């Protein structure tokens, strides 16, 4: 069945973990007294970039800034749809300076950047499905930002409420498997969402690939798919098997060092949709 899955070329924006560290705690995964192996983190990150390029994807990079240890998590910087950039306004004051550096990169690359008025953390909570935007709220991005996003892009925005602080961003609980019109589908962990949000997802995606708690805790849902190849944490064994059964090709990439800051593959990857 994997032969019927068609990969689509992607353009990604990333940021080298040159200054990566856990210096504060803004989610349940972060413990400043736990040592981060910066060399290992850099090796893991380079393996991810190598995997993207080996599968034909384009990778651009923004220069990391000293004093911003979470800048490596490029996904939180913006959401880009149809070549339009909706920027970020971070919930945590420690991360707010990151926005300027990413805005500068996008503008230099020829994009206009919309500055949000409400707290909004980019692709961390805003997931483009090819039809509409799935938008997380509950811990970071606000519902006011959801309304801003809909007005800016002119695409329907579907608000989903996150209820488990371990899955504080939507991209820790859900990812898009295929954003084509024909094969549009997602994978998610149901218990990360409120009862009403679970019903919405079940109605929209009756054939979704459901993850277990162990998969979610391994950051298996912080994955990136090109429609065929799924770049996924190898520790998410059950989800990896389920995806293979559906005809996807799992590409294991271990970013375990970044889990100490509550991040993974998707967190490190901003997609530029022109």
Return the structure tokens found at 123.
């692709």
Catalytic hit among 57, 91, 146, 169: 169
Return the structure tokens found at 257.
């060092």
**Active site annotation includes 155:** no
**Active site annotation includes 169:** yes
CA distances from 195 to 136, 145, 190, 223 (A): 14, 22, 9, 24
Catalytic hit among 15, 120, 267, 268: 267
CA atoms within 13 A on the CB side of 31: 7
What distance lies between CA 186 and its chain's CA centroid? Answer: 13
Distance between CA atoms of residues 26 and 168, nearest Å: 10
Cross-strand partners of 210: 188
Return the structure tokens found at 253.
């990439």
Cβ atoms of 123 and 10 closer than 8 Å: no
Those residues whose C-beta lies under 8 Å from the C-beta of residue 128, and which sit 6 or more positions away, are 79, 81, 155, 176, 179, 271, 273
Hey, which residues are catalytic here? 169, 267
């Amino acid at each position: 069945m994997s032969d019927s899955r068609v990969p689509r070329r992607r353009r990604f924006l990333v940021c080298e973990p040159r200054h990566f560290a856990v210096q504060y705690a803004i989610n349940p995964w972060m413990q400043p007294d736990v040592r981060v192996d910066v060399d290992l983190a850099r090796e893991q990150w380079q393996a991810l970039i190598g995997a993207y390029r080996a599968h034909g994807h384009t990778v651009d990079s923004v220069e990391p800034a000293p004093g911003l240890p979470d800048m490596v998590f490029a996904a939180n910087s913006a959401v880009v749809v149809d070549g339009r950039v909706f920027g970020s306004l971070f919930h945590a004051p420690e991360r707010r300076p990151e926005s300027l550096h990413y805005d500068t990169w996008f503008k230099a690359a020829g994009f206009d950047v919309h500055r949000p008025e409400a707290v909004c953390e980019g692709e961390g909570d805003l997931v483009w499905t090819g039809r509409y935007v799935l938008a997380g709220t509950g811990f970071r991005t606000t519902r006011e930002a959801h309304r801003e996003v809909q007005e800016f892009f002119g695409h329907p925005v579907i608000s989903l409420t996150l209820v488990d602080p371990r899955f504080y961003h939507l991209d820790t609980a859900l990812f898009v498997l295929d954003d084509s019109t024909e094969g549009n589908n997602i994978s998610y962990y149901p218990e990360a969402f409120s009862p009403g949000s679970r019903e919405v997802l079940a109605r929209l995606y009756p054939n979704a690939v459901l993850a277990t708690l162990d998969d979610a805790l391994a950051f298996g849902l912080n994955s990136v798919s090109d429609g065929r190849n799924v770049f996924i944490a190898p520790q998410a064994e059950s989800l990896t098997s389920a995806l293979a059964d559906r005809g996807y090709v799992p590409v294991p990439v271990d970013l375990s060092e970044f889990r100490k800051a509550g991040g993974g593959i998707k967190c490190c990857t901003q997609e530029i949709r022109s």
